Amino acid sequence: MSAMVPRTGAPASFADLTEQLAPAVVNISTRQRVQVASSNPFAGTPFTDLFGGQGPQGPSTREAQSLGSGFIISADGYVVTNNHVVAPASRNGEITSITVTMPNGTEYAARLVGRDEASDLAVLKIDGQRNLPFVRFGDSSKSRVGDWVIAIGNPFGLGGTVTAGIISAVYRNTGSGTAYDRYIQTDTAINRGNSGGPMFDMGGNVIGINNAIFSPTGGSVGIGFAIPAEIAAPIVDKLRRGERIERGYLGVRIQPLSEDLAASLGLERNRGEFVQAVEPGQAAARAGIQAGDVFVRVDGKEVTREQTLSFLVANTAPGATIPIELIRDGKRMTVRARVAARPSEDELQRQVFDPNDQQDANPFGQQQQQRQGQGVIEQSLGLSVIPLTPQIAGQIGAAADMRGVVISAVDPNSDAGQKGLARGDIVLSANYRAVESLAALEEAIRTARSVRRDALLLRVQRRGQPATYVPIRLR
């Protein structure tokens, strides 16, 4: 038996390829005016007039600079980079100039043609040029784990730097929850300043745009992420033409179908995404989609960790009507939804719900309780509950007519404690069945055990926040 012979393709040197590609990779620097708070300690007080002449009278500005990378995609000077490279550092900042520096040191002023915050892409233009070196996008969908790649960029402002490595993973979901959380992962050294630079395949095609790293130190540890060309190229083309980037939107808050969630629902894990909440009046609500549903397919495409609901919907044209396959209470069903237009990233950020916000201390006073079924609940879930009376509802800020049971204590070492359940949270349902008494919660536990479920899906209301689903492992 002879030894395996390695396939050809690993180059003895990247020098020829680098010599061909490097002239089109540029350094990008911006200058911006950032507003800073007044340094006058008496500003806004009765002493302002008395001491007004001795310091700044209001917000002042300072000059700031940022550095990044980019690449030229046309002879007449269109340049691609990351949005965060050319975006103001703060909401009240203003970009005053953008400079593109070629590898030979030649500097050009550039203007912003368009940028897209959701995908973190931007297009610049160097005016008055007709013969600049440029590179082209390739087909990243053909990239495979183990393929060689090289990255060229401007790490730490040092200037043109070339690094090489392999593709470590494709369609990597980093857990950010964004519509475009679908990266090429590489062990190629990527550092601060590489953002916006190209990742090339061995044919010299741009298959990714370097975007982020995972690092406990701030430097490269061999885990870098690039926006795939299959996502970037269509967006860049629209930005270059001055078109608005429109994306689909359903209006749901979702989470991956984790092992615990799948166990509580009796479903296969890593297939589908779970609906935590539905925004009233939005496309999902109009289609009849409910909190607690599981998305399985969207417009015929399977929902997976690599192909998320957010990605599939974002790439659907607003106004399109699409079939959506769901699982509800163990049964499959299909609804049709007319996709809406995705709000801006700022608007979406204002909708973010933090399940870890804590309650005020002890809304229950000294109330003690001994209820039938409490032992089963404590033993199975690691928490204690009491009935939701009008008096307690008033103390914890709940509606007087709300029905449920209130968590009065949580074992911090239990799954419930680890998942952030806290004293004062209201349990509204268990495995989609209303819980209006301790007996109802106890019955839900017994039913789950009888069908060999390892977890119980609780719907929990926390003061001032939307109700959310939390799968709790049964002990």
| Pair 119, 205 in one domain | no
Higher pLDDT, 173 or 365: 173
Using 50, 70 and 90 to split pLDDT, how confident is the model at 5?
A: very low
Q: ∠ at Cα 285 (279, 291), nearest 5°? A: 70
Where does a domain end: 79, 102, 125? 125
| Pair 463, 387 in one domain | yes
CA distances from 355 to 161, 277, 425, 463, 464 (A): 43, 13, 11, 11, 11
| Pair 425, 448 in one domain | yes
| Pair 390, 338 in one domain | no
CATH at 331:
2.30.42.10
Asked if 375 and 381 touch (Cβ cutoff 8 Å), the reply is no
| Pair 150, 193 in one domain | yes
Higher pLDDT, 176 or 327: 327
Asked if 151 and 198 touch (Cβ cutoff 8 Å), the reply is yes
Higher pLDDT, 137 or 423: 137
Structure confidence at residue 418 (pLDDT)? 87
Query: What is the C-alpha end-to-end distance of the chain, expressed in Å?
Result: 53
CA distance 154 to 164: 14
Q: How many domains are contained in the chain?
A: 4
| Pair 114, 147 in one domain | no
Q: Which tokens in the block code for residue 15? A: 């020098």
Q: What value does the mean pLDDT of the chain take?
A: 83
Asked if 186 and 170 touch (Cβ cutoff 8 Å), the reply is no
Structure confidence at residue 362 (pLDDT)? 45
pLDDT digits 0-9 by tens, 283-300: 999 999 998 999 999 999
pLDDT digits 0-9 by tens, 146-159: 999 999 998 887 88
Higher pLDDT, 65 or 196: 196
Host domain of residue 434: 374-473
Active centre residues (catalytic): 84, 120, 195
Q: What is the mean pLDDT of residues 107-118?
A: 95
Q: Which tokens in the block code for residue 193? A: 């300043």
Q: Of 118, 72, 347, which Cα lies nearest the Cα of 211? A: 118
Residue 34 lies in a domain: yes
pLDDT digits 0-9 by tens, 198-214: 999 999 999 999 998 77
pLDDT over 60 at 406, yes or no: yes
Say which residue the tokens 């013969």 belong to: 131
Phi first, then psi, for residue 422 (nearest 5°) are -140, 160
CA distance 4 to 470: 51
Question: Which amino acid would we find at residue 348?
Answer: L
Buried b (16+ CB within 10 A) or exposed e, 38-67: eebebbeeeeeeeeeeeeeeeeeeeebebb
Residue 284 C-beta-side C-alpha neighbours within 13 Å: 27
| Pair 333, 382 in one domain | no
Q: Which tokens in the block code for residue 330? A: 């163990």
Where does a domain end: 297, 316, 349? 349
pLDDT over 90 at 242, yes or no: yes
CA distance 380 to 414: 10
Residue 6 lies in a domain: no
Structure confidence at residue 61 (pLDDT)? 61
H or E stretch covering 201: none
pTM of the predicted protein model: 0.70
Residue 55 lies in a domain: yes
Residue 133 lies in a domain: no
Residue 361 lies in a domain: no
| Pair 446, 467 in one domain | yes
pLDDT digits 0-9 by tens, 328-383: 988 999 999 999 998 876 676 655 433 333 333 344 443 444 444 467 888 889 88
Residue 334 lies in a domain: yes
List, in order, residues 6 or more apart from 259 with CB less than 8 Å away.
269
Asked if 460 and 421 touch (Cβ cutoff 8 Å), the reply is yes
Structure confidence at residue 358 (pLDDT)? 33
| Pair 220, 275 in one domain | no
The region, left, alpha or beta by phi > 0 then psi within -120 to 50, assigned to residue 203 is alpha
Where does a domain end: 240, 268, 294? 240
Residue 2 lies in a domain: no
Structure confidence at residue 26 (pLDDT)? 96
Q: What is the mean pLDDT of residues 28-55?
A: 58
pLDDT over 60 at 137, yes or no: yes
